Amino acid sequence: MSVEMASLTPKKYQPYFKLSHELVGVWNVPYISEAYLIHGSLLRQGLTVKAVENEIIVSGAKQETKYFPTYILPNNPSMDPDMVFCKSLRDNGVFMYVTNVDDFGHLVNSDNYETNHKQNDLYEIFNNQLDWEKRYIHPNYSKNLEPDHQIEQACPDVYWFPVVTPIFCKHLIEELENYGKWSDGTNYDPRLAGGYENVPTRDIHMNQIGFEQQWLYFLREYIRPVQEKVFVGYYHDPPKSLMNFAVRYHPEEQPSLRPHHDTSTYTINIALNRPKIDYEGGGCRFIRYNCSVVDLRLGWSLMHPGRLTHYHEGLPVVKGTRYIMVSFVDP
């Protein structure tokens, strides 16, 4: 419900009505646009004083004549129809209220909904972020940001936290496989400036599936707050990432990845499917610490420094297919 309350309520309180519920109640408002909850009797009997004769049936047989006022919308070309509607209501003593005591749902913005993808809802992070979060952000994500909550470390300075739901992982994999144009895993890569990849993987970049801007927004909204908590003193707004890609590991394609440094200040690595169910083997070994992260958790992200300390390798997949989503942040 879109509510304009500037004449009655200071703007600083308006977000509470919509989001946080720090103020709960019922408010008499002069103007509501886009959504109305109206008692049916008002639509049946009208809102103005013009009387129209109507015949109705009473008790199943007897007919009698009653007069019902008929609602006539004033003709005022200088005002929008919804403004005319709201003014007419108030002029006739019918008052409108907004409440957040009960949840009546919300409208979906369908004006820019894209229909050319395998999983169209995946792309709705801008237009319908509330619904996007409910579907795709892990239900325990908010615990990461609680002041007293300690982010788990799988290895030294390798942080591990829930970020996306299983349905996000499923939809992203389906979108990737629907596109289907995985790189060949060689050093030659025409997608990159200079056409050469030093540590190649079989991957698909987010810009190839039209998901680059959505993913950069995801990094800003859901990764950056965790990063600022665990890597204290490092701030960036927005995060910059030139390499955002999904990797596919398979025993008959590319089962592993040789030791390397990432071209990043820090890297995130999100597990998109399940070890010992969808694949066997796999994981990441941080060589300096002789520490391996295996049995990766679906929808959880690893976050670790990139260039200097965390030289690492991808452990071999021996059965099935492993998918991960990777971003090199602030190259």
- Mapped onto helix, strand or coil, the DSSP state of residue 175 is helix
- What is the Cα–Cα distance from 43 to 82, expressed in whole angstroms? 16
String of DSSP letters for 4-40: E-TTTS-GGGHHIIIII-SS-SEEEESEEES-----H
Torsion of CA 291, 295, 300, 302, to 10 degrees: 20
Q: What is the pLDDT of residue 5?
A: 36
- Which pLDDT does position 174 carry in this prediction? 98
Which run of H or E residues covers position 116?
none
Where do the structural domains in the chain lie, given as residue ranges? 16-99, 120-329
Collapsed DSSP state (helix, strand, coil) of residue 163: coil
The reported pLDDT for the residue numbered 42 is: 62
What secondary structure does DSSP assign to 42-106, as a single string? HHHH-SSS-EEEEEEEETTTEEEEEEEE-------TTS-HHHHHHHHHHHTT--EEEE-SS----
Tally the residues of the chain.
331
pLDDT at position 144: 97
For the chain (length 331 residues), average pLDDT per consecutive 10? 37 48 82 72 53 46 51 61 80 82 80 93 95 97 96 97 98 98 92 87 97 97 96 90 96 96 96 97 96 96 94 97 97 84
- pLDDT number for residue 16: 44
pLDDT score at 77 = 66
Q: CA-CA distance, 286 to 309, in Å (whole number)? A: 9
Which of 122, 104, 100 has the alpha carbon at shortest distance from 113? Answer: 122
Whether domain 120-329 has CATH 2.60.120.620: the reply is yes
Classify residue 3 as left (phi > 0), alpha (psi -120 to 50) or beta. Answer: beta
Model pTM score: 0.74
